[in-house]
């Protein structure tokens, strides 16, 4: 029988994936596909279904709980006989590094343990390990010391190296920056990018660190089991009104009343409070309407301290999309109450 993998360089294909636990549908008709070498960021607040999707792709969820067409490295995880092949083709870096590292052993011994469970050639695996350790700047003087003596950042990088020892086609990382100092988070992300560039490994990064979008080729936004978006972050941002141009306005005594005033201006599409005294405003026909907005605010006694223009970043896009969904849901609730002859008239 032919593999169901398309002829192009698709690494992961997900078509109409739905996952149900008992009464709860936790993933709802999700479809996307991923090409070789792409870095995919999976974003969404806790409970959105990110880990569940990854668990389907990594053969951790029984077929009775899910439906849809899923292909990982050319193989379908719904068939048990494909599991060992899929697991050989993928790597997994868990959220907590103690789940894939032995802290009382040194890094090279950790590699040995991992290679023996995969039935790999020990010498070759050590060579690969040394190459990975070098890419990841794991200092040579730590290679033969206990992992427990390594710094937090070094442990995290070692955990990534272990996930890559068998040269997987796809690497899954669950929250690689959670628990890492804010100042070190970007380091982790740039190491992932570096690995991706050196090895051409396809990567899935689950994260609520919205800065991670910077290294992603595609970003998935999930909410309550639904995939709201799946595209390059640039494309998603430029689909906002006026291509994502924002006016960042600092306002004296900013409160809900002032925000309502801004929202009332005709061409304003979205107002986000991004600081104590700061809002970001998206509008249609930005260039034309910005001076008109300023005039309108002035006439309505809104005291502007400063104004600058910028392009929305991924964080804003994420906030806006989640906000829009919440609004839609509220409107649906209200119309449901109305149609049932309920309390809102």
Ligand X SMILES: Nc1ncnc2c1ncn2[C@@H]1O[C@H](COP(=O)(O)OP(=O)(O)O)[C@@H](O)[C@H]1O
Residues of this chain that bind ligand X (CB under 6 A): 21, 24, 26, 44, 46-52
- What do you get for the CA distance between the two ends of the chain, in Å? 61
In the complex, least distance from residue 96 CB atom to Mg ion, rounded to whole angstroms: 12
Q: Binding to Mg ion by residue 51, rule CB under 5 A? A: yes
Looking at beta carbons, which residue is closest to Mg ion? 51
Q: How many residues line the site for Mg ion (CB under 5 A)?
A: 1
Per CB under 5 A, 82 contacts Mg ion: no
Q: Provide the minimum distance between the beta carbon of 17 and Mg ion in the complex, in angstroms, as a whole number.
A: 16
Cβ proximity to Mg ion, 51 vs 219, nearer residue: 51
Nearest to 111 by CA among 92, 95, 133: 133
**Are 250 and 268 spatial neighbours (Cβ–Cβ below 8 Å)?**
no
Interacting partner of 256 out of Mg ion, ligand X, none (Cβ under 5 to 8 A depending on kind): none
What are the backbone angles phi and psi of residue 120, rounded to the nearest 5°?
-95, 165
How far apart are alpha carbons 112 and 120 in whole angstroms? 9
Piece of 47-55, 136-144, 196-204, 287-295 that binds Mg ion (CB under 5 A): 47-55
Interaction partner, residue 21 (ligand X, Mg ion, none; CB < 5-8 Å by kind): ligand X
**What is the number of H-type helices and E-type strands within the chain?**
10, 13
Structure token digits, residue 170: 């796809």
Q: How far apart are CA 87 and CA 256, in angstroms?
A: 52
Out of Mg ion, ligand X, none, what residue 49 binds, judged by CB under 5 to 8 A for its kind, is ligand X
Rank residues 51 and 82 by Cβ distance to ligand X and give the closer one: 51
The CB density around residue 255, as the number of other CB atoms within 10 Å, is 9
Supply the minimum distance, in Å, between the C-beta of residue 51 and ligand X: 3
Stretch that binds Mg ion, among 50-58, 128-136, 163-171, 327-335 (CB under 5 A): 50-58
Question: What's the rounded Cα separation, in Å, for the pair 314 and 152?
Answer: 28
Return the residues of window 180-239 that contact Mg ion according to CB under 5 A.
Answer: none
Q: 47 or 179: whose CB is closer to ligand X?
A: 47
Closest CA to 30 of 20, 18, 40: 18
Residue placing its CB nearer to ligand X in the complex, 57 or 161: 57
Please, what sign has the CA dihedral across residues 75, 81, 83, 87? negative
Q: Which is nearer to Mg ion, 43 or 314 (CB)?
A: 43
Min separation Cβ 209 and Mg ion, Å = 13
> CA of 99: how far to CAs of 155, 173, 301, in Å?
12, 13, 58
Least CB distance from residue 44 to Mg ion, whole Å? Answer: 9
Kindly state the tokens that stand for 278.
């700061």
Query: By C-beta, is 17 or 48 nearer to ligand X?
Result: 48
Q: From the CB of 77, what's the least distance to ligand X, in Å?
A: 16
Residue 279 is given by DSSP the state E
Question: Which of ligand X, Mg ion, none interacts with 110 (beta carbon under 5 to 8 A by kind)?
Answer: none
In this complex, which beta carbon is closest to ligand X, that of residue 49 or of residue 74? 49
| Crossing angle of the two packed helices 152-164 and 182-199, in degrees rounded to 10 | 20
Longest alpha-carbon distance in the chain: 76
Interface residue list for Mg ion (CB under 5 A): 51
């Amino acid at each position: 029988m032919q593999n169901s993998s398309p002829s192009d360089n698709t690494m992961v294909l997900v078509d109409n994936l739905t996952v149900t636990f008992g009464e709860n549908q936790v993933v709802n008709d999700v479809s996307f596909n991923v090409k070789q070498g792409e870095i995919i960021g999976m974003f969404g607040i806790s409970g959105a279904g990110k880990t569940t999707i990854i668990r389907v792709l990594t053969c951790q969820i029984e077929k009775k709980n899910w439906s849809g067409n899923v292909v990982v490295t050319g193989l379908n995880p719904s068939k048990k006989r494909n599991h060992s092949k899929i697991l050989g083709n993928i790597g997994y870096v868990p959220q907590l590094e103690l789940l894939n590292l032995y802290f009382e052993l040194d890094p090279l011994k950790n590699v040995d343990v991992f290679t023996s469970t995969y039935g790999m050639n020990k010498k070759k695996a050590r060579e690969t390990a040394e190459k990975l350790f070098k890419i990841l700047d794991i200092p040579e003087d730590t290679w033969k010391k206990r992992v427990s003596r390594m710094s937090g950042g070094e442990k995290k990088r070692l955990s990534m190296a272990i996930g890559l020892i068998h040269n997987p086609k796809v690497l899954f990382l669950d929250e690689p920056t959670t628990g890492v100092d804010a100042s070190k988070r970007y380091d982790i992300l740039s190491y992932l990018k570096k690995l991706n560039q050196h090895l051409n490994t396809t990567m899935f990064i689950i994260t609520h660190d919205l800065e991670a979008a910077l290294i992603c080729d595609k970003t998935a936004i999930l909410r309550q089991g639904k995939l709201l978006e799946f595209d390059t972050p640039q494309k998603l941002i430029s689909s906002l009104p006026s291509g994502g141009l924002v006016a960042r306005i600092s306002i004296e005594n900013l409160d809900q009343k002032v925000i309502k005033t801004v929202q009332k201006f005709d061409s304003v599409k979205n107002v986000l409070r991004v600081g104590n005294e700061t809002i970001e405003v998206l509008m249609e026909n930005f260039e034309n309407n910005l001076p008109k907005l300023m005039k309108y605010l002035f006439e309505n006694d809104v005291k502007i301290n400063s104004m600058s223009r910028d392009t929305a970043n991924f964080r804003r896009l994420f906030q806006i999309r989640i906000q829009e969904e919440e609004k839609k849901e509220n409107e649906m609730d209200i119309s449901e109450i109305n149609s049932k002859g309920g309390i809102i008239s």
